[in-house]
Chain A
């Protein structure tokens, strides 16, 4: 399907000016300079905050990742990275985190998109469903954990049901099933929020385009794939990034369920970093954090590339 005229129209004024060699006279005028100074004054507190709470800690983390320990501060270059790579606990945590994110994030995006589309269609009890999916967001985290403990404890409801049907009890939180339980918990907690974002994106797609598509006999799949998905690409990117970030935050729930050292399938990178911090192994923690940040940057970079590919012909 082709929509002529849907090419992204970019203002060419900057380019034209450059071509014509026009310079802004006001760049050097006292008024402009004064304006810049005032702007800089207003920006300074924010810039200072960013420096203090983001940039500086980042450099401190890099520094710690290259010293032997936080006391003697002997420069060891990349030894800590090698040590962390060789650490079985780190490898386990990285594999678990990767597996969890790889399973939970796509599921969170796809399921919430499906739910959003379902609630967009004409079905009864739409608002009740919406409330139902949003309600986990209102439950405090400690209560969430309590609920899931009641469900998945060895003597919990799930096992009671299994026993009713003559099956054996499963130690959900102390077995290979543990990560599946955490994926479910993650979805239960996050689907509602993602769904609302998708519903908002769906409602902002221009109706005339959808109507034209229908008039031109486009199938629902074609409408979804060629119009809706492309218009929602930036929302999908946002939801994916948010879900990815939230997937790292699932440590909170696991920590409340099983403490610092859970069953190995639930042991995440955040556990590794928290525990090493508690033992003053700042160098290990920093090296792990940098490795994690690099992987995150790569993943988010790929997501941006994907988004720009899918959304390239949509006016943004």
Chain B
């Protein structure tokens, strides 16, 4: 009896511990409702402005001043705009400023007395009969503008502060708490003058500065890159120098912007995170992440803090007008709100090493419009150590922290598929009415594992290698030995004129790994003749490319057979047309060496997402994923110039081809319709006007797309393999060991890898 009681106790204790351990994963929670703490709730206000680009924005009390410019195609001139936007009544008013097409507002700031100060760049020149510019001069003026009625007051010429009048420019401009004006070209130094332009001091700079910011306290700080990344240093007027770097500010090497704070010294924006920074204590207070507020941080052009604690931001939105190249802008006000007061939504977690920008936009759209689910993102690759991030990613996949959706971009999805981590998406497609045959099946196949679709990729491009058909024949693929035979018949340095050893490895081995590893029988062939020949071929190339080297232009090299193979991508019909123009004769898209002679490889662009088999929100996750396959999304990938890839849906691809084939016309003086170039494409020294594509060109692109059904090796090749090959081949390149010796060692080490993975 006593024994059984003891057993029960132990069992109970074990059970409780197990429960505690296995229960401590991600909660099947909701966003907003029921949560403690605060969130920042965005309020979007579309602003009706005529300019295409907003260059600067500053807040003065309740008013926001915006400066921008737009290009008029008809007149061929720029028009400058200055707007006053009242943040209380949300009304925008254009302030009339008289600036010619060669002048612009370069910068704005608010003086301590509340007046708006703007810098005007004036550029004057003359043109001779041949159109050459002569007598060019730059002038810089400082205008005082009333924040109330926008009337322009005093205008001062400050060109002399910017140096030589022909090249005068001011990059940074601001005013401190005493009204002193600070101007800098960003390189040579900072000039400090009083309001009457009498000099205060000049400060020399050691290196380029990234920003000049007045703090809430009225002091001026300079941001520049130091030994440990971006640092902030105060301007010391008495010492006529920059002070010591502010401590506690982790600037890193990313894109961090600083703005004048209201509640604390500064507002910092590190592209994904907004924080307040107190200079006296050196402490930072994180406020929110842009993505959590449904804003793409990369599209925030200006921001600041209001006296009521709200954060304002100007957000560029170019998704709707990508085809026309224009931008629309929104002012977003972010209000700190108790999380419990925010509408509750079911949370769907997306796990990714790095968040793709297209995917980010899709998530923001989904979160803005979906009333039931909300996607949150966990990025694993943000730290310094990639492997650490990957290990954490892997660990989460096997525990209760497993994300609902998994980004498969640049990771070996087969590894996860073989563990049953990824759902088969074909049944989901069928259930939602998406027919497999409506999509490019060879592209879908690239993300198949044992006939199961593991990922949705909405857009792709083709990674290929081109050669003159007159040199290699009308091939659509070749084996490594065929490629190496071609190398031996020609001068190796002419094969890839800009090649490096690692690029040769990528070309010959990593994108062709199946030729070296027979997974079925657990054998590898790195000690074979082909690998040894590859090593000898790679030895003709430098370890790193010398970017300082200047040489012949690419088209000239191709035409004179000094560049026989060219690795590139085909992401649009127009890119294909440019390649044809650059080669000047028929191209053979031989792709990467491959035992099946199918060397054109697929590379996902715009992300690729898999659905976790462990997800408890599969319906919500699929709701997001199916948007990527929808007509609406696929059609949005169609654009006038071809975006960064082809849509995966056949109908959208046909629409893209139709646009590519539709000619543009202009009317000449006699009223005749004449076909005009659709756009201009260029590569290195080569540039060509792109006309409407012919049916032959479209067919050729279709053929290239149809020839690909494998993913680029950059995705699947394990870092272990590349590091073994790189490490062990080095003695051969240094002349210490023979290629055969090195190949033997590589074979030995990789054989273990192969055996282990069977």
Instruction: Mark A residues whose CB is within 8 Å of B.
Output: 48, 51-52, 55-56, 59, 68-72, 87-89, 92, 154-155, 171, 174, 258-264, 267, 271-272, 275-276, 278-282
Q: Measured between C-beta atoms, what is the minimum distance from A95 to chain B in Å?
A: 13
B397: contacting residue among A72, A171, A259, A280, CB under 8 A: A280
A154 to B728, CA, bound (A): 11
Contacts of A155 in B (CB 8 A): 736
Say yes or no: B398 contacts A88, CB within 8 Å. no
Q: Chain B 293-323 against A: per-residue CB contact (8 Å), 1 yes, 0 no?
A: 0000000000000000000000000000000
A70 to B395, CA, bound (A): 10
Contacts of B723 in A (CB 8 A): 259
Q: Measured between C-beta atoms, what is the minimum distance from B216 to chain A in Å?
A: 47
Q: Measured between C-beta atoms, what is the minimum distance from B758 to chain A in Å?
A: 7
Contacts of A278 in B (CB 8 A): 391, 394
Question: Taking CB as reference atom, which chain A residue is nearest B10?
Answer: A51
B752: contacting residue among A71, A264, A279, A281, CB under 8 A: A264
Say yes or no: B755 contacts A87, CB within 8 Å. yes
Say yes or no: A261 contacts B753, CB within 8 Å. yes
14 additional A-B residue pairs with CB within 8 Å, beyond A259-B724, A262-B749, A263-B745: A71-B397, A87-B756, A88-B755, A171-B737, A259-B727, A261-B753, A262-B752, A263-B749, A264-B751, A267-B752, A272-B756, A278-B391, A279-B394, A280-B421
24 interchain pairs, CB-CB under 8 A = A51-B13, A51-B17, A59-B14, A71-B419, A71-B613, A72-B613, A87-B755, A89-B755, A89-B758, A92-B752, A154-B737, A155-B736, A171-B737, A171-B745, A261-B753, A262-B749, A263-B745, A263-B749, A271-B752, A276-B756, A279-B415, A280-B397, A280-B419, A281-B419
Say yes or no: A71 contacts B420, CB within 8 Å. yes
Say yes or no: B756 contacts A275, CB within 8 Å. yes
Q: Measured between C-beta atoms, what is the minimum distance from B493 to chain A in Å?
A: 28
Say yes or no: B398 contacts A92, CB within 8 Å. no
Contacts of A171 in B (CB 8 A): 737, 741, 745
Q: Measured between C-beta atoms, what is the minimum distance from A44 to chain B in Å?
A: 10
Interface residues of B in 711-758 (CB under 8 A from A): 720, 723-724, 727-728, 731, 736-737, 741, 745, 748-753, 755-758
Say yes or no: A72 contacts B752, CB within 8 Å. no
Q: Measured between C-beta atoms, what is the minimum distance from A72 to chain B in Å?
A: 4
Contacts of A174 in B (CB 8 A): 728, 745, 748
Say yes or no: B756 contacts A154, CB within 8 Å. no
Contacts of B416 in A (CB 8 A): 280
A279 to B418, CA, bound (A): 11
A56: contacting residue among B21, B415, B720, B728, CB under 8 A: B21
B420: contacting residue among A55, A69, A154, A264, CB under 8 A: A69
A89 to B749, CA, bound (A): 11
Say yes or no: A260 contacts B17, CB within 8 Å. no
Contacts of A272 in B (CB 8 A): 756
Q: Does B45 contact A (CB under 8 A)?
A: no
Q: Does B97 contact A (CB under 8 A)?
A: no
The residue in A258, A262, A264, A280 that gathers the most chain B C-beta atoms within 10 A of its C-beta is: A280
B758: contacting residue among A52, A87, A261, A271, CB under 8 A: A87
Q: Measured between C-beta atoms, what is the minimum distance from A73 to chain B in Å?
A: 9
CB contact under 8 A between A70 and B522, given known A51-B14, A56-B18, A87-B755: no
Q: Chain B 461-480 against A: per-residue CB contact (8 Å), 1 yes, 0 no?
A: 00000000000000000000
**Is chain B's binding surface mostly helix, strand, loop or mixed?**
helix
A56 to B21, CA, bound (A): 10
CB contact under 8 A between A280 and B731, given known A56-B14, A261-B749: no
Say yes or no: B398 contacts A56, CB within 8 Å. no
Contacts of A262 in B (CB 8 A): 749, 752
Say yes or no: A69 contacts B720, CB within 8 Å. no
Say yes or no: A280 contacts B398, CB within 8 Å. yes
Question: Taking CB as reference atom, which chain B residue is nearest A73?
Answer: B420
Interface residues of B in 547-606 (CB under 8 A from A): none
Q: Does B122 contact A (CB under 8 A)?
A: no
Say yes or no: A52 contacts B17, CB within 8 Å. yes
A259 to B724, CA, bound (A): 9
Say yes or no: B613 contacts A261, CB within 8 Å. no
Contacts of A72 in B (CB 8 A): 420, 613
A280: contacting residue among B415, B756, B758, CB under 8 A: B415
Q: Does B79 contact A (CB under 8 A)?
A: no
A92: contacting residue among B21, B415, B755, CB under 8 A: B755
Q: Measured between C-beta atoms, what is the minimum distance from B632 to chain A in Å?
A: 33
Q: Measured between C-beta atoms, what is the minimum distance from B502 to chain A in Å?
A: 18
Contacts of A267 in B (CB 8 A): 752
The residue in B397, B419, B736, B751 that gathers the most chain A C-beta atoms within 10 A of its C-beta is: B419
Q: Measured between C-beta atoms, what is the minimum distance from B522 to chain A in Å?
A: 7
Q: Measured between C-beta atoms, what is the minimum distance from A248 to chain B in Å?
A: 18
Q: Measured between C-beta atoms, what is the minimum distance from A179 to chain B in Å?
A: 13
Contacts of B13 in A (CB 8 A): 48, 51
A289 to B522, CA, bound (A): 23
A70: contacting residue among B419, B728, B737, B748, CB under 8 A: B419
Q: Does B614 contact A (CB under 8 A)?
A: yes
Question: Taking CB as reference atom, which chain A residue is nearest B757?
Answer: A279
Question: Taking CB as reference atom, which chain A residue is nearest B719?
Answer: A260
Contacts of B756 in A (CB 8 A): 87, 89, 272, 275-276
5 closest A-B pairs by beta carbon, nearest first, are: A89-B755, A89-B756, A88-B755, A70-B398, A72-B420
Contacts of A87 in B (CB 8 A): 755-756, 758
Contacts of B17 in A (CB 8 A): 48, 51-52, 56
A89 to B751, CA, bound (A): 9
The residue in A59, A68, A278 that gathers the most chain B C-beta atoms within 10 A of its C-beta is: A278
Contacts of B745 in A (CB 8 A): 171, 174, 263
A261: contacting residue among B21, B522, B720, CB under 8 A: B720
Contacts of B751 in A (CB 8 A): 264
Contacts of B420 in A (CB 8 A): 68-69, 71-72
Q: Measured between C-beta atoms, what is the minimum distance from B470 to chain A in Å?
A: 44
Question: Taking CB as reference atom, which chain B residue is nearest A55?
Answer: B14
Say yes or no: B398 contacts A71, CB within 8 Å. yes
Say yes or no: B419 contacts A88, CB within 8 Å. no
Q: Measured between C-beta atoms, what is the minimum distance from A143 to chain B in Å?
A: 21
CB contact under 8 A between A263 and B18, given known A70-B398, A280-B397: no
Q: Measured between C-beta atoms, what is the minimum distance from B480 to chain A in Å?
A: 23
Interface residues of B in 7-38 (CB under 8 A from A): 13-14, 17-18, 21
Say yes or no: B724 contacts A282, CB within 8 Å. no
A42 to B755, CA, bound (A): 50
Q: Measured between C-beta atoms, what is the minimum distance from B248 to chain A in Å?
A: 31
Say yes or no: B398 contacts A154, CB within 8 Å. no
Contacts of A263 in B (CB 8 A): 745, 748-749
Q: Measured between C-beta atoms, what is the minimum distance from B739 to chain A in Å?
A: 15
Contacts of B522 in A (CB 8 A): 88
A155 to B730, CA, bound (A): 13
Interface residues of B in 411-449 (CB under 8 A from A): 415-416, 419-421
A281 to B421, CA, bound (A): 12
Interface residues of B in 206-241 (CB under 8 A from A): none
Question: Taking CB as reference atom, which chain B residue is nearest A169?
Answer: B736
Say yes or no: A71 contacts B614, CB within 8 Å. yes
A154 to B742, CA, bound (A): 12
Contacts of B757 in A (CB 8 A): 279
Q: Measured between C-beta atoms, what is the minimum distance from A289 to chain B in Å?
A: 15
Q: Chain B 602-625 against A: per-residue CB contact (8 Å), 1 yes, 0 no?
A: 000000000001100000000000
A80 to B123, CA, bound (A): 77
A122 to B741, CA, bound (A): 51
A51 to B12, CA, bound (A): 12
Q: Measured between C-beta atoms, what is the minimum distance from A169 to chain B in Å?
A: 8
Question: Taking CB as reference atom, which chain B residue is nearest A263?
Answer: B748
Q: Measured between C-beta atoms, what is the minimum distance from A262 to chain B in Å?
A: 7
Contacts of B737 in A (CB 8 A): 154, 171
